Amino acid sequence: MLEIKRIIPKLEIKNENLIKGIQFEGLRVVGDPIKFAKKFFEDGADQIIIIDIVASLYSRKNLFQTLNKITDDIFIPITAGGGVRSLEDIKKLLEAGADRVSINTFALENQNILGNISEKFGSQFLSILIEVKKIENKYYCMKNHGRDNSGIELEKWVKFLKTKGIGEIVIQSIDDDGMCNGLDDNLLNIIQKLKINKPTVVGCGMGNLDHCIDVLNKDYVSGLTISSSLYSQDIVINKLKSELKKRKIPINEI
């Protein structure tokens, strides 16, 4: 049976605002994250990822409030992350309404704790976010919303994660973020060769329906995150799903 492909809006929040940048920089306010989340749910989104990009610098209070409001009216899986520094943070996000918790910096800096997280909460509740940047022809995993280089190459990190109880891996290309020119083909080839064998979501750079179809047509991709082009309505979820259905790419019906 073919895997159902997922369309996943990724909402980045700062304080109470939905924001968006280009290559993770030059952040601008887009609007109200609750309103956008509701629209995307009504348009047929399969899941929503919410990342508080300043939670590690300040607090998670805004993320909790946003989560509570979003989960009141939206009935699809919600993944939440940003500033997670402990098992207690994960517990609180799940209690606030998240179906899954996304971690990046915490995982890179505390690799030995991943097994404990899976044992305590179950692997299905854990999503590893990988923010990748190409530096001197190598793909490195970045920390703190792309600000710092972990020094760990993508291939090494993914091979390590494959040995752990991870529910999902989400790979984002910093270089393509907000550019709307499609996703780096070389990065996609590397992901294919890694044979992750876990649900693998990719994203950044989606500018039109053809970009999305090209990525979702790959059997090693489970889902696609989209941000800028959803805000501008250059991509509309129900129209994308109609095109995917025409091409016999398996989707959840709206």
DSSP 8-state code for residue 220: T
Backbone angles phi, psi at 109, to 5 degrees: -90, -10
pTM: 0.96
To which CATH superfamily is domain 6-245 assigned? Aldolase class I (3.20.20.70)
Spell out the domain ranges in the chain. Answer: 6-245
- Structure tokens that stand for 226 in this block: 């989209």
CA 250 to chain CA mean position, Å: 20
Q: 170: burial class by Cβ within 10 Å (0-12, 13-18, 19+)?
A: buried
Give the chain's mean pLDDT. 93
Backbone angles phi, psi at 13, to 5 degrees: -120, 150
pLDDT tens-digit readout, 187-226: 999 999 999 999 999 999 999 999 999 999 999 999 999 9
Decide: 175 and 23 in contact? Cβ < 8 Å: yes
Of the candidates 23, 233, 237, 245, the one whose C-alpha atom is nearest the C-alpha of residue 145 is: 23
Show the DSSP H helices in the chain as ranges: 33-43, 61-73, 87-95, 105-109, 114-121, 154-161, 185-194, 209-216, 228-231, 237-246
Of the candidates 121, 186, 125, 117, the one whose C-alpha atom is nearest the C-alpha of residue 154 is: 186
pLDDT tens-digit readout, 8-52: 999 999 988 999 999 999 899 999 999 999 999 999 999 999 999
